Amino acid sequence: MIKNTMFGSKNSSNLSLNTSQWASESFQKSQALASALDNSNSLNSGSTFVSKSSSQSQASAILSANPNPNPYLTSAAIVPDFNADGKTDKLWVNTQTGEIIVRLMDGTRVIEQGSLGNFDLSAYDYKIADFNNDGKTDFLLRNRTTGENSIVLMDGTRVANAASLTSVDTAWTPSIGDFNGDRKTDIFWHNSQIGENAIWEMDGTTVLNATVLDTTDPALTATIVDFDGNGKSDIFWRNQTTGDNSVWFMDGAQKSEFSLQSQDAAWTASVGDFNGDLSTDLLWRNTQTGENKVWAMRGILVTEGALGTLDSSWTSKIGDFNGDGKTDIFWHNGTTGANTAWLMDGTTVATEAFLPSNSASLTPSLGDYNGDGKTDIYWRDQTAGADNIWTINDTTAVETPISDADKLTPEWYTF
């Protein structure tokens, strides 16, 4: 039934798509590289999709496709890798037609391309995941208008399997994580209007257990993390008005709740693993003052370290530019086009890499396109289509243009 298109049917009628919203979501999605990152409505994934006590040789074999020691940064549930070769692949969306295509990458080369069909982008939202733990990125597709949900298991540019799940009222937003530690992506559902919560533990396209959790204050937002580093995703709750923080340590659908210290409302959190211990850490940024700091987490124990100050024209994304398993921070100045990278060692910046400047109009998306364990930067030129990739090695960047044959016109957006 599923052949050339993900869902058989298509809707290619007029799109009321707000492309700036797409760009913004794009930013959030790549920021969410390690995933857990953004807390409300785009890609929300669990921090540790692969447990460190790996008794499963198949998973180990999959992991070895990328030499980076931190599975947090290379999981196919977090960074697109549709063929499990350890090289980040590219997902493109045509904002005029709604077509979504997958491009398998080998460094700066496109080795294969496949279309997933055309979608009504004003209705559909997707999240990437790995529901069957084969190391190949899958999709959760949600129709925000009807509440319908589908899972699409990918094998390279091909759809290996697809199935519809139960519909869920449109007030609910899904996030992905791995709450029972079986390395198969689960779904956390949150109703932000009334604060209801639920978890679906997944095995491929099957919902193994659907469990309703406690209701939370609607003022709280959820971010999927793994603060204790046990390979089971946890939920970080923040009240962005009061600054109160807490955590639910999860074991499947069982939770243990703890308070964390507060952090006033001027600060917003994103996630990484800055000391490489496989426990999620927090990067706090005060967009008013430009201050930044890290909370290195070990359970509920916080080790705080202040970082440098960068004004609000800078935005951060995370990667690992020296391949040591410790998350680094890439900064792009959207006004001047300046770039810099902080190679992190826990709560301190070990090395600051002064990268070349480029046009402020270019949009960066991070991934390890050549599979050497070090994060690279894909620069999308949304105007002329003259994209290039920076292959990063510690503090140096080598720029290679995308070939003319592979250029995509401006209505195509990538994440």
Closer to Ca ion by Cβ: residue 182 or 324: 324
Smallest gap from residue 15 Cβ to Ca ion (A)? 29
Q: What is the DSSP code (8-state) at residue 19?
A: H
Smallest gap from residue 41 Cβ to Ca ion (A)? 23
Amino acid type, 271: V
Closer to Ca ion by Cβ: residue 98 or 373: 373
Closer to Ca ion by Cβ: residue 190 or 232: 232
Rounded to 5°, the CA angle 112-408-86 comes to 35
H or E stretch including 99? strand 99-106
Q: Identify the bridge partners of residue 302 per DSSP, sorted by sequence position.
A: 297
Smallest gap from residue 363 Cβ to Ca ion (A)? 21
Amino acid type, 381: D
Smallest gap from residue 350 Cβ to Ca ion (A)? 8
Smallest gap from residue 98 Cβ to Ca ion (A)? 24
Smallest gap from residue 78 Cβ to Ca ion (A)? 12
Closer to Ca ion by Cβ: residue 42 or 275: 275
Closer to Ca ion by Cβ: residue 196 or 226: 226
Closer to Ca ion by Cβ: residue 128 or 362: 128
Please state, in angstroms and rounded to a whole number, the distance separating the CA atoms of residues 325 and 80: 18
User: Which residues contact Ca ion (rule: CB under 5 A)?
Assistant: 81, 83, 85, 87, 89, 130, 132, 134, 136, 138, 226, 228, 230, 232, 234, 320, 322, 324, 326, 328
Smallest gap from residue 185 Cβ to Ca ion (A)? 8
| Cα→Cα distances 171→41, 149, 190, Å | 11, 13, 8
**78 CB-near residues (< 8 Å, 6+ apart):** 32, 33, 34, 35, 45, 49, 72, 128
Cβ-count burial 35-73 (b if 16+ within 10 Å, e if not): bbbbbebbbbbbbbbbbeeeeeeebeebbebbebbbbbb
Q: What is the dihedral of CA 76, 80, 85, 90, to 10 degrees?
A: 180
Q: Which residue has the tokens 């069982």?
A: 254
Closer to Ca ion by Cβ: residue 81 or 244: 81
